[in-house]
Chains A and B, each alone.
Chain A
């Protein structure tokens, strides 16, 4: 009993240490965002700013179109995650339930495609989008994000579909439900947590993505948040640290809000799948 308690205490200590480790960069970012320039250059930095200021936020908004960029990022990331999930869900269902050479080859291709580096595909991609007149276009960027996140989304969802017992579908078929009805009424609710997790993955991938956005979007009105944040960095890696931290802190807020909403949905989805309506 004593050993069990000690083990549990050690587990909590490890968890606490891990959480502190994870939270450190974010807390430091918040601290930096509220520090005046002179405190940023201090040899003995403090967690709580001695003379907190909103000047960094004012400067960040003054220098760069942050709200517009956040709007663009939100449009790109939400659209990409939604489209990726809509496409990937039925595909994943087919790949999981109909296991043959084609689906195995498709799974293999999905895994291999994850190994392609950005630089390998960016130039052909650029040329294709140019021919479609989709350079400097959010639609072009959304298409890229969908294609980029689709393989991994598919891979994730295949695992979730396989976890749904096939017997439930057989029972629905016995009740006279069509394939579509079975998928919509039986499988989809059980897949809800997986779909939400996949959407989260696609959203975060698109929200944080920098290189495609940098190359494909030219005018400031179209550019996304990571591209705009990059402008606070100058030659030889010198950064305008205060405004950069303020802008980066603001950039994390939408992700946090979406995470908070989605987290509830994951729990809700799990419960919804447990009871037959």
Chain B
């Protein structure tokens, strides 16, 4: 006992010293104290080419702007919402934030993002079309710069299509939804395990809403009082009905892929089970990497309706944190980062399309190699995803629309039941957010 009593103060001193050493050794950066501005830029780039392009641009900026240093911080798509929310609440958010436009509404309404409408130069404002700005504009204020986007396209087994003799669609003369259904029937009806199309609809809501824009389907309607209600009119029915009929009536679409993600369908596509797979434009990278040697594939436009090739997208965005003390400098960095040449580099790194009209003219994005030209031709038809600024949309999507559409596509429920759930149950959800 006496020994313990004698050791006590020594132990406390030793522990305090160790703690102090640890604190000095491990504590976080305190930031620059030389009067220079340091901006944190959190990027979500994840593919090597894209990360390299991002880092190279940051390096270039730092070399030419000695008074405003940009620090590259790596984030990840998988967890960005939770990570940003915590950072905003804790007052530690990065100055410049990379995200997607469908994630911005909550942060914008929560007061976490700065209105950068007046900080951006005229060059950038006019370079990006109005329809793209709509994806980041809420209540007349601009909360981000949309810079990369991707259309959903049909990636097809070119040899199979050629052999079948079906008409190959082009952006000028795409398939209508009826023609698309007829073509898939001709390409394969499940006999010998071969199908005309494989719909990867693990996340069926955004695919349905975005592709339904081509037929004039909007589903979300904003009234004069600003309140939004869900409707499921004739125009909204065409795309989901086509998929349902392909799976359940024609057997031209594989039922097993309905629960899959896009990547999961690729082995079957390469193995000759499906003639076509509707995927995001950036999936071309995986196809280039993974397809067997000599596999002949091509990009086709998604089917068109009364509104032509229109479809919804949620572009990648760059925003500025409301808490940032250097908003002007952050906007200057965004302007530099999104110069047309830089936008091309970023687009190629992510295998996506730039929003900027100057960048879209670049020959590197109009080449036939890897079917860049086929996607670039669709850029003008891209519109804001219908639910972009609808409060309560995430809950409607998860609790109402996802299960309802999954059941409809698999044939478990009919169109009337689908309508009832999307509209009746859906409006109950939205009403809670619009009181």
Chain A positions within 8 Å of B, measured between CB atoms, are 37-38, 40-45, 59, 62-63, 119, 122-123, 126-127, 130, 133-140, 178-180, 210-211, 214-215, 218-220, 222-223, 227, 230-241
Contact = CB atoms under 8 A, between A and B. Distances in A.
Given A40-B290, A231-B76, A122 B86 contact: yes
A137 B270 contact: no
B170 to A, nearest CB: 27
Nearest to A234: B46
A131 to B, nearest CB: 10
Contacts of B48: 59, 62-63
B148 to A, nearest CB: 10
Given A178-B1, A234-B46, A219 B271 contact: no
Given A139-B23, A234-B46, A42 B76 contact: no
A134 B28 contact: yes
A121 to B, nearest CB: 11
Contacts of B271: 42-44
Contact of B77 (A134, A135, A218, A235): A235
Contacts of B415: none
A123 B90 contact: yes
A244 to B, nearest CB: 11
B270 A230 contact: no
A130 B48 CA distance: 32
A240 B91 CA distance: 33
B28 A135 contact: yes
Interface residues of B, number: 51
B218 interface: no
B394 interface: no
B38 to A, nearest CB: 12
B169 interface: no
B82 A119 contact: yes
B210 to A, nearest CB: 12
Contact of A139 (B26, B47, B86): B26
B335 interface: no
B169 to A, nearest CB: 24
Given A38-B290, A41-B291, A236-B262, A133 B89 contact: no
Nearest to A217: B28
Nearest to A122: B86
A232 B28 CA distance: 26
Contact of B78 (A119, A130, A136, A230): A230
Interface string B269-313: 011010000001011001001111100000000000000000000
Contacts of B71: 219
A223 B82 CA distance: 17
Contact of A41 (B25, B26, B82, B290): B290
Contacts of A214: 76, 79, 82-83
B323 to A, nearest CB: 13
B74 interface: yes
B87 to A, nearest CB: 7
A63 B92 contact: no
A180 B4 contact: yes
28 contacts: A38-B289, A38-B290, A38-B292, A41-B291, A41-B292, A42-B270, A43-B270, A63-B48, A126-B92, A133-B28, A135-B28, A178-B1, A211-B82, A218-B73, A219-B29, A219-B73, A222-B28, A230-B76, A230-B78, A231-B46, A232-B46, A234-B77, A235-B100, A236-B262, A237-B78, A237-B261, A240-B47, A241-B263
A231 B83 CA distance: 14
